[in-house]
């Protein structure tokens, strides 16, 4: 006689086993990264060029190159930031142009005038070569997206700025202010727009957004009492200036 109860118990165990097996197999698996491999694929590799993509991009590339390579002005000599101890010709140009073009926007918006401009020498990333000047030249000199910011500083912070400039011994672009340095490396005869520095006067200083936040240890900007973001990229300032002039001036005055 067959023991059906025994077979029923075995079937139940088998069903239970299958249930746990499927539950376990469907549960979330945990994986660990054991190896990472990478391969460099050059975007200029013609073997990997997709003709459809190339045909789509080509007219845009040609249009951009045409805009970038259009001649805007002429530079009579190469301007290089490495030529000069306290100031350079390209730094003088950068500061003067930023002060000039920045005032157009600042006066229109705020009915105020920028008194001083100071930029950082390290922000100038290329020379201004002798010959034809294009928009591409501006992109090479100023490849970053820095924009012009105006900070209102009291005269005592202007003195801090001058002291910082002397201690740095770097040709940071400077405009709107002149001073002399005595034998002890102290500033003397500080003049802002032709007038003696007044500790109680508020001066409007144009700079880039990086320095305005204390970059390059220019912490005196953090003491500003007002801040105006002109939303005017330094690169665009250069391009607009190049469009206005025929020949770029070589500025080699003493500041």
pLDDT single digits (tens) 148-204: 999 999 999 999 999 999 999 999 999 999 999 999 999 999 999 999 999 999 999
Residue 151, beta-bridge partner list: 205, 227
Percent of the chain with pLDDT over 90: 70
Residue 20's pLDDT is 60
pTM, 2 dp: 0.77
Residue 34's pLDDT is 79
Structure-model confidence comparison of residues 37 and 101, the more confident one = 101
Q: Which CATH architecture has domain 67-244?
A: Alpha-Beta Complex (3.90)
């Amino acid at each position: 006689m067959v023991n059906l109860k025994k077979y029923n118990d075995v079937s139940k165990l088998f069903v239970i086993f299958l249930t746990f097996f499927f539950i376990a197999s469907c549960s979330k698996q945990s994986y660990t990264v054991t190896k990472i491999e990478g391969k460099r694929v050059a975007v200029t590799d013609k073997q990997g060029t997709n003709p459809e993509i190339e045909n789509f991009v080509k007219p845009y590339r040609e249009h951009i190159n045409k805009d970038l390579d259009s001649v805007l002005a002429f530079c009579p000599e190469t301007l290089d930031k490495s030529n000069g101890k306290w100031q350079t010709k390209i730094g003088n140009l950068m500061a003067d142009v930023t002060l000039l073009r920045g005032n157009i926007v600042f006066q229109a918006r705020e009915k105020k005038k920028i008194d001083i401009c100071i930029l950082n020498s390290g922000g100038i990333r290329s020379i201004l070569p002798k010959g034809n000047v294009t928009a591409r030249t501006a992109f090479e000199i100023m490849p970053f997206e820095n924009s012009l910011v105006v900070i209102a500083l009291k005269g005592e912070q202007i003195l801090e700025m001058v002291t910082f400039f002397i201690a740095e011994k770097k040709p940071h672009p400077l405009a709107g202010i002149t001073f002399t340095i005595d034998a002890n490396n102290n500033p003397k005869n500080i003049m802002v727009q032709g007038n003696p520095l007044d500790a109680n006067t508020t001066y409007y200083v144009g700079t880039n957004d990086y320095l305005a936040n204390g970059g390059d240890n220019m912490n005196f900007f953090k003491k500003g009492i007002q801040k105006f973001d002109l939303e005017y990229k330094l690169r665009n300032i250069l391009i607009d200036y190049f469009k206005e002039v025929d020949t770029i001036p070589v500025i080699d005055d003493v500041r």
